[in-house]
Amino acid sequence: MEQKHSESFPPEVSRRLQTYVYRLIDPRNGETFYVGKGKGDRVFAHIRGEVQQENDDLDNKLKRIRDIRIAGFEVGHVIHRHGMDDKTAFEVEAALIDAYSGLTNIMGGSGNGDYGSRHALEIIRQYTAEPAEIKHKVIMISINRSIEETTMYEATRLAWKLNPTKANKAEYILSTRQGLIVGVFKAEKWLPVTPDNFPGREELPGRYGFHGKEAEVEIQKYYIGKRIPDIYRKRGAANPIKYSWDK
């Protein structure tokens, strides 16, 4: 008998799926609110996480899942494409994250920073810009998604998963958007994201931000408008943080 709402795949199905890309859908409005990739029962893991966690610990995705359940509905699970290797799945996931606005994904898809969707003129600017010669110890931070909602400084300084001891070694922070350097800042200190360290911000365990200021004018002129050298732009890399001393 067919199950109405499954929370796992039968073993024979799981084996044949291989790596897949999926979407979570809100049945109340048909909106795709999360895109992911995985194997086995990964697509159902978000529901289990919502059940296990307390209200205060829920991220936006899990809050959405809980709201759907409270309203008396079940999250829609769509396997968008399956039978892929990991490399292909990364590309499909990134394309879907570009295609659906308003997702609850904390991070963009793999490669979205440099290879995601954009206007043709942006493509031209990206690939004709002079590559920067990185002559300082810098952290490069992709702000592709966060810059749409706040200032460049706020989009650059919060809130990242990184090693604060390592981050504090950087001389400058380069804000990058679609492969181009659009801002340069100087961090005074990296701190955990808490209301005490960043008033008005909620606590984000495991994430850090910095207090700082814009870099000197000559440093800004040196970097802004140039593109990140290819050596730092590994295709398929999902981490928005890059260190110049980790080539």
**Would residue 235 count as lying in a domain?**
yes
pLDDT greater at residue 1 or residue 136: 136
The last residue of a domain, from among 110, 130, 165: 110
The answer to whether residue 219 sits within a structural domain is: yes
Residue 223 pLDDT = 96
Domain identity same for 30 and 60:
yes
Please report whether residue 3 resides in a domain: no
State whether 122 and 232 are in the same domain.
yes
User: What's this model's pTM, rounded to 2 decimal places?
Assistant: 0.55
d(CA 200, CA 82): 42
Task: Retrieve residue 41's tokens.
Answer: 């029962």
As a whole number, mean pLDDT of residues 144-161 equals 80
What are the pLDDT digits (tens) for 169-219?
Answer: 999 999 998 788 989 999 999 999 999 999 988 899 899 999 999 999 999
Shared-domain flag, residues 209 and 99:
no
Q: Where does a domain end: 80, 110, 140?
A: 110
Read off the pLDDT of each residue in 142-163 and give the average, rounded to a whole number: 81
Pick the more confident residue, 91 or 210.
210
Residues 119 and 101 in one domain: no
Q: Are 56 and 130 members of one domain?
A: no
d(CA 127, CA 146): 23
Domain count, the chain: 2
CA atoms lying within 13 Å on the CB side of residue 204: 20
pLDDT of residue 235: 56
Inter-residue long-range contacts of 148-153, CB under 8 Å, 24+ positions, other chains counted: 152/182, 152/183, 153/183, 153/185, 153/214
pLDDT at 111: 47
What residue numbers bound the domain in which 175 lies? 115-243
8/166: higher pLDDT: 166
| 163 & 43 share domain | no
Listed residues 84, 110, 136: the one ending a domain: 110
At residue 110, the pLDDT reads 47
CATH of the domain at 65: 3.40.1440.10
The residues with which 81 forms a beta bridge, in sequence order, are 21
Mark whether 223 and 160 lie in a shared domain. Answer: yes
- The string of pLDDT tens digits covering residues 11-65 is 888 888 999 999 998 888 888 889 999 998 888 887 766 444 444 445 778 888 8
- Our measurement of the distance from residue 151's CA atom to the centroid of its chain's CA atoms, rounded to an integer in Å, reads 18
Assess whether 131 and 225 both reside in one domain. Answer: yes
In this structure, the answer to whether residues 97 and 119 fall within a common structural domain is no
Residue among 104, 106, 81 nearest 25 (CA): 104
Between residues 4 and 82, the one the model is more confident about? 82
Q: Check residue 175 and give its pLDDT.
A: 93
Same domain, 99 and 139: no
- My answer on whether 29 and 52 are in the same domain is yes
